[in-house]
Amino acid sequence: MPAGATDCPEPAVPSRVEGEAFYSDVQGSIVDQDKLRRDMAMIAPLRAFVTEASSRADSPDRDDRACAARLMESWARGGALLEAPRSFEATRERQRFAIALNIVALKLHAAGVDSAPLLDWLGRLNHAVIADFDKRNQVDNLFVWSGVAASSYALLAHDDDAARYAAMVWTQAIGLIRPDGTIASELARGRRALVYHAYELSALLVLRAFREAAGDHANPEDIAALRRLSDRVVEALCDPADMARAAGSPQQEPVPPTELSPIVAFAGDLGDARIRRCGSPDIPAADPVMGGNLMRTAALLANRSYRRAEQ
C-alpha cells in the first residue's frame, strides 16, 4: 500500500474490545446513564480509529486514502480486536466495529487500494463475530447486524462460509416479521420497542444491500415482509401510540437521528419521506461506526464500484 500522508497518525492497536452493561432492567429498556458513559469511554479509542479511517477512506484526496490504508494495515499487523471479549456488551461492540472496518476496506478496494494485506485479519475478526452470534441462538436486531458483518466481509473476500451465514440470517430474520409488521423479540423491549424495530429495519436494509451487491436478490415475499416492517416503523415514527400498545408500554422513546441514517441511505424502493418529517429532519449522512458516509456506501454497492480494482 502507498506510504500515505505525512500527517497520518500512528494508532494504538487494541487487542480486545471492552464494554459495560448499561441497562438497568431485564427488558433492556431503561438506560443507566452512568454505566453508559463508562461504556462509551471504553470504546472511545476504537471509535476514534474508525472515525479517522472512515473519513480518510471517503476523502477524494489520494494521501488521505493512503493514510486510511496505513491505519488499517497497522491494526491488521497487530491483530486488533481478535482477543475474545469478556462481556456481552463488548461482544456487541466488536460486531459493530467489524462492520465499520469491512466497509472502510471495501471503500479502499473500490479506490484501487490492494486489500490483500487486510484479508487474513478481517477474516479472523468476522468469523469470530459470526461464531459469537451463531452460538447465541437468538434472532433479533443484533443477529441481523452479525449478518451484515458476514455479508460485508463476504463481498470483500469472496468468502462462501460468510455468505452462507448471511443468507441464513436473512431467512430467519425475515421469517419473524409478523403480518402487522412487528417483531416479537423487539416488542419485548417495552418503551424501546420502536427504537429496536428501527434498529432491525436498518440492519435488514443494509444486509439486503450487501447481499444484492453479491448477486443474492431477495424474493418478492421477503420484500413484502420488509415493507411491512418499514411501514410499521415509519407509522410509529409519526404516531407511536399503536407501537406502545403492542409493546405494552405507556410510551416509546424517540429514535436517535443517527440510527435512522442507514434507513435513509439503504431504503431504496422502500424509502419514505415521512422518516425525515416524523423521525428527524437532521438525519446525518455519515456514521463512523457504519464505515463513514452511508450514502456513498450505498452508491458503491448499487453501482458495483467495489469491483473496480478487479476490472
Q: Name residue, grid cell 481478535.
A: 82
**Contact between residue 191 and residue 249 where contact means Cβ atoms under 8 Å apart:** yes
Q: Tell me the C-alpha distance between 229 and 194, whole Å.
A: 11
Q: How many CB atoms lie within 10 A of CB 95?
A: 24
Cα(130)–Cα(183) distance, integer angstroms: 22
Report the candidate in 268, 278, 287, 272 with the shortest Cα–Cα distance to residue 47.
Answer: 287
- In angstroms, the Cα distances linking 212 to 151, 152, 206, 229, 308 are 10, 11, 10, 19, 17
- The domain defined by 33-310 folds into Glycosyltransferase (1.50.10)
pLDDT tens by residue, 69-110: 999 999 999 999 999 999 999 999 999 999 999 999 999 999
- Which cell goes with 13? 492497536
Q: What is the pTM of this model?
A: 0.92
pLDDT digits (tens, 9 = 90+) for 44-79: 889 999 999 999 999 999 999 999 999 999 999 999
The string of pLDDT tens digits covering residues 2-18 is: 444 458 999 999 999 98
Report the distance separating Cα 206 and Cα 263, nearest Å: 8
Strand locations in the chain (E): 286-287, 292-293
Cα–Cα distance between 279 and 233 in angstroms, integer? 10
Mean pLDDT, range 253-261, rounded to an integer? 94
| pLDDT, averaged across the chain | 91
CA-closest candidate to residue 254, choices 237, 275, 270, 268: 237
Instruction: Give the least confident one: 41-45, 233-237, 249-253, 301-305.
Output: 301-305
CB atoms within 10 A of CB 196: 25
Identity of the residue numbered 283: I
Q: At what angle do helices 116-136 and 62-78 cross, to 10 degrees?
A: 60
**Cα four-point dihedral sign 152, 104, 194, 218:** negative
pLDDT reading at 308 higher than 60: no
Residue 266 has pLDDT above 60, yes or no: yes
Phi/psi of residue 247, each to 5°?
-85, -5
